[in-house]
Amino acid sequence: MSDRDASTPRVILARHGETEWTINGRYTGITELELTPRGEQQVLSTGKLLVGTGKLIDPVQLERVFVSPRRRARKTFELLFGTESELAALNKVEFTEDIAEWGYGAYEGLFGEEIVARRNEQGLDTERPWDIWKDGCEGGESSEQATQRLDSLINRIRDIQRPYMHGEKPVDIVLVAHGHILRAFAKRWLGVPMGSPLAMMLPPGAIGVLSYEEHDINAPAFLVGIALPLEEK
């Protein structure tokens, strides 16, 4: 099997930078938090290395940028692409709840151990430990609800990219969002049920890339390793 051709459309996942709740491990969904100074530097460093003409994320190659409406994601978008990005002027930026963080409901702002203790007090999880991928959140989003909104966005993306699988037009797409929902997106991109195990890590400020095998819209794939664009001499 050949390696991915550079002309195959990609979906690039960009997680927002560090926040105070990222540091201490609180579940952060709808709560509006600023990036820490270190979080801003994480994103700026990523942008300096990977975003720009001839770089891995080339604005000229982008057809759409989907951004979570949460403040930390909006700030990350600005740090990656600049406050005066031409992408907005070209109507290529869309702020959408489709990639807002998983709705944690009653678990918003709690630590993992606090959630487990709360559920134990309610007599839940007697047969197996709580698994957010399967069980969702009390008063928040279920696995089925998260699947539905992500699948809807994936269908939109495939409709955009389907006609250009051999590079007829650059149609890369960027998602600027959150660690949990971006990992959920990757699961659904690959057709993995939300409740099925698929170990993934995406640190604050990190970039991930999805694409297709053999230019085939029906063969979505991870790009496990990325070769950076060649430097012009």
Q: Which residues carry out catalysis?
A: 16, 101
Does the annotation list 213 as a binding residue?
Answer: no
Sheet containing 220-222: give its strands across. Answer: 93-95, 62-67, 172-177, 11-15, 207-212, 220-222
Does the annotation list 47 as a binding residue?
Answer: no
- Under a CB-based contact definition with an 8 Å cutoff, are residues 36 and 24 in contact? no
Q: List Cα–Cα distances, 218 to 80, 101, 155, 169, in angstroms.
A: 30, 27, 12, 19
**Residues in a beta bridge with 211:** 221
Does the annotation list 72 as a binding residue?
Answer: yes
Does the annotation list 158 as a binding residue?
Answer: no
Does the annotation list 130 as a binding residue?
Answer: no
At 196, is the secondary structure helix, strand, or coil?
A: coil
Backbone dihedral angles phi then psi of residue 174, each to the nearest 5 degrees = -115, 135
Does the annotation list 212 as a binding residue?
Answer: no
Of the candidates 130, 118, 114, 101, the one whose C-alpha atom is nearest the C-alpha of residue 22 is 101
Does the annotation list 74 as a binding residue?
Answer: no
Q: Which residues are annotated as a binding site for substrate?
A: 28-29, 72, 101-104
Q: Which residues are annotated as a binding site?
A: 28-29, 72, 101-104
